[in-house]
Amino acid sequence: MIVMKNVRKEYENGTDALNGINLEIEDGEFVFLVGPSGSGKSTLVKLLTGEISCTDGEVHINGFDLTTMRLSRMSRLRRTLGVIFQDFRLIPNKSVYENVAFALRVVGAKPKKIRERVEYVLDLVGLVDKKDHMPGELSGGEQQRVAIARALANNPRLIIADEPTGNIDPELSREIMQLLVDINAKGTTMLVVTHEDELVDRFSKRVVMIKDGKIVRDGTGGYYGHE
Amino acid sequence: MSRTAYFIKEAMANIFGHGFMSLVTTITIIFCLIIMGSSSLLALNIQHIIQSLEDENEMVAFVDEDLSEEDARRIESSIRATANVAEVQFMTRAEAMESFLEKYDDNSLFRDVDESVFRHRYIISLNDIGAMESTQRAIARIPGIAKINAHLEISRGLVTLRNIITVVSAALILILFFVSILIMNNTMKIATFNRRTEIAIMKMVGASNSFIRWPFMLEGMLMGLFASLCAFLLLWGGYRLLNDLITGTLSFIRIIPFDDILLPVLGIFCAVGLVEGVFGSVGAIKSYLRV
């Protein structure tokens, strides 16, 4: 569950990236976070993943109060999250299997559990047969599916996907989005940042739109709503 | 695979996976260790030479001329019991005269000199010539000792020289140690620069700082250890060559045989290599962990 109360983020150079953000996302929800470039979407994601802290306000995520949390404890929060990036962020010199297994190793999972879980999530994203490949040998869509498998590895309560289809062609984008919707149907909360209106319109989900650091729309419907 | 086995596998994979940077780092440690090691060995040898000069700087305690040889010999136990006395050698009048005459090629002038002119004496060498003056005073108080000849000015000079060399070499080695840590740290920074994305990914999936640090630390340790063994072998070879050269040309200089210092040098090299490897690698990734 995500709760943001009166969140303001001002960068050191004086840029007011977010101002007065109030947002609640319940467990099991699927939410699109949309908005034009520079609207504050990335800042919001960075706040949620603990990469930056807010200037004012409160951020609670999966029971952690990020406002008061020490940097050294941030790893505990991240273990309850799955994060998917536009540029996949796979470790280039590790195989598909190792990239996914890595997320389990950091939480101290037993070797047997690692084997079983990696096979399971790779099967879920349809990449079991490519488990020994290196990321460089895969297409963009496949790399993103590996990133999704890695995000799923620890069975997180929440997945944050930051422009997950930004680097892949439209047809594969729909596949990836459908995969995220299917994962959400199994109970994982999903926050998907995107600026692709066609995809948002296709899946009728809750849409939160940010503009100039403020939430300007929050409701179900297409990218621009039905107003 | 257990966590430890995983860390070791990761460290090995990192060393060979980033072969060029591993090579640069290892060469840097070898270079730093050889500079530090040769400076230390130079300082050690200078001290060794001074030490041998110090050992030659003995005191001579003359026994009261009224005492018989038997009485004179009785004093030996008191001299031996004096603090700072390392060795005591008794010399009779006759031996003293003989030793005196040996110094001159043409000793016909002294042929008629009677041995009673000489006194029984003790040749005393000390543990620490820095305390020569107090030892001299203590021995002078022993009944039966008439006079003591001690080259206090030479002992003071040698002690001052030894102290200066000790301080200068210690400072130099310390500076070299920190400089090499700095060089090592910078090399490791360059080596880990390409791996900052990898570290960022590790952080993002919830890896704790220690989980990320361990493979880097092991990598640093392994490279440090390997580099120290290489540096040790190179220094050993160089030292032996120099030893042969000096023995052949400047035979009056006695340098410390490498076999005498082999184990301490190896131990210190391994320790310094490990410390440099660990601190260098951990220091280099420190800034990437603050996310």
Rounded to two decimals, the ipTM of the complex is: 0.81
* Chain B residues with at least one Cβ partner in A under 8 Å: 1-3, 6, 13, 17, 197-198, 200-209, 211, 290-291
Mean pLDDT of B218-236: 92
Q: Which residue of A has its CA nearest to B207?
A: A106
Mean pLDDT of B265-284: 86
* pLDDT-derived band at B1, boundaries 50, 70, 90: low
Report the half-sphere exposure of A58 (CA within 13 A, side-chain side): 9
Residue B192 pLDDT exceeds 80: no
For each of the domains in chain B, give its residue range(s) and CATH number, in order of start.
3-53+157-289 (no CATH), 58-150 (3.30.70.3040)
Burial of B19 (0-12, 13-18, 19+ CB in 10 A): exposed
Cβ-based contacts of A81 with chain B (< 8 Å): 206
Higher pLDDT, residue A62 or B288: A62
Q: Which residue of B has its CA nearest to A81?
A: B205
Q: Which residue of B has its CA nearest to A52?
A: B291
* pTM of the complete model: 0.67
Please tell me the distance from the alpha carbon of residue B48 to that of residue B165, in angstroms, as a whole number: 11
Mean pLDDT of B111-126: 83
Minimum mean pLDDT range among A105-119, A137-151, B109-123, B259-273: B109-123
Q: State pLDDT tens for residues B133-146.
A: 889 899 989 998 88
Q: Which residue of A has its CA nearest to B208?
A: A75
Q: How far is CA A69 from CA A53, A63, A72, A75, B155, in A?
A: 10, 11, 8, 11, 66
Residue B147 pLDDT exceeds 80: yes
Mean pLDDT of B52-66: 83
Disruptive mutation site among A75, A87, A118 for chain B (greatest number of B CBs within 10 Å): A75
Rounded percentage of chain B residues whose pLDDT exceeds 90: 11
Residue B46 pLDDT exceeds 60: yes
The confidence score (pLDDT) of residue A150 equals 94
State whether B207 and A89 contact (CB < 8 Å): no
Residue B170 pLDDT exceeds 90: no
For every residue of A131-187, DSSP letters joined together read TTS-GGGS-HHHHHHHHHHHHHTT--SEEEEESTTTTS-HHHHHHHHHHHHHHHHTT
Among candidate residues B47, B48, B61, the one with its CA nearest the CA of residue B135:
B61
Among candidate residues B107, B143, B150, the one with its CA nearest the CA of residue B126:
B150
Q: State pLDDT tens for residues B199-218.
A: 888 888 888 888 888 888 88
Cβ-based contacts of B211 with chain A (< 8 Å): 106
Helix (H, G, I), strand (E, B) or coil at A94: coil
Q: Answer whether B59's CB lies under 8 Å from B126's CB.
A: yes
The confidence score (pLDDT) of residue A227 equals 41
Cβ-based contacts of A136 with chain B (< 8 Å): none
Higher pLDDT, residue B271 or B182: B271
Mean pLDDT of B181-187: 76
The closest CB to that of A78, out of B3, B17, B206, belongs to B206
Residue B25 pLDDT exceeds 90: no
Q: What are phi and psi of B114, to 5 degrees?
A: -85, 145
The confidence score (pLDDT) of residue B49 equals 83
Mean pLDDT of B225-235: 94
State whether A103 and B200 contact (CB < 8 Å): no
Cβ-based contacts of B203 with chain A (< 8 Å): 74-75, 78
Higher pLDDT, residue B176 or A121: A121
* Chain A residues with at least one Cβ partner in B under 8 Å: 49, 51, 71-72, 74-79, 81, 83, 89-91, 93, 102-103, 105-108, 111, 150, 154
Residue B163 pLDDT exceeds 80: yes
Q: Which residue of A has its CA nearest to B211?
A: A106
State whether A102 and B205 contact (CB < 8 Å): yes
Helix (H, G, I), strand (E, B) or coil at A92: coil
The closest CB to that of A93, out of B17, B290, B291, belongs to B17
Cβ-based contacts of A47 with chain B (< 8 Å): none
Per-residue pLDDT tens, chain A, 227 aa: give them.
899 999 999 998 988 899 999 999 999 999 999 998 889 999 999 999 988 999 999 999 998 999 888 877 888 889 899 999 888 889 888 899 999 998 898 888 888 999 999 999 999 889 999 999 999 999 988 999 999 999 989 889 999 999 888 888 888 888 889 989 999 999 999 999 998 888 898 888 999 999 999 999 998 877 776 54
The confidence score (pLDDT) of residue A1 equals 87
The closest CB to that of A106, out of B17, B197, B206, belongs to B206
The confidence score (pLDDT) of residue A23 equals 95
Cβ-based contacts of B287 with chain A (< 8 Å): none
Q: Which residue of B has its CA nearest to A106?
A: B207
Neighbours of A147 (CB within 10 A): 27
Burial of B111 (0-12, 13-18, 19+ CB in 10 A): exposed
Burial of B106 (0-12, 13-18, 19+ CB in 10 A): exposed
The confidence score (pLDDT) of residue A60 equals 94
B194 vs chain A: nearest CA distance in angstroms?
Answer: 11
